[in-house]
Amino acid sequence: MTVLEWKGAEHGLRLIIGNADEKPKKEIDYIATFKQNNVIGIISATNQSATDHYENLAFPVVFPDRTANDHPSVYADGLAGGKIAAQQLIVPGFVDHSPAGL
């Protein structure tokens, strides 16, 4: 279960996942399915954010690491994420098995 699922479950929500494999027709079908299931929003990692099948929906759409004209986008901070990951590796007892070391 992902963090999104855990947090949603805490508020009585369920997560529905669809993988369109970068196929526009399949993505449109998923959007129709989400509408039929009365979703309250979509988080979409599409490469098709500029197309009009995300327009005029009755719920919000957010694109992580993508830009879209009329929809919010969320971006990851790769530098801060890398620092956090490195800090988790540099803990007491960590043994570096890589050829070059850290």
**Residue 91: its pLDDT value, please?**
67
Give the global pTM. Answer: 0.64
4/70 Cα distance (integer angstroms): 24
**Residue 3: its pLDDT value, please?**
83
Which CATH superfamily, name and number, covers 3-75? Response regulator (3.40.50.2300)
- Residues in the chain with pLDDT < 50? 102
Q: What is the 3-state secondary structure (H, E, C) of the chain?
A: CCHHHHHHHHCCCCCCCCCCCCCHHHHHHHHHHHHHCCCCCEECCCCCCCCHHHCCCCCCEEEECCCCCCCCEECCCHHHHHHHHHHHHCCCCCCCCCCCCC
Domain boundaries, the chain: 3-75
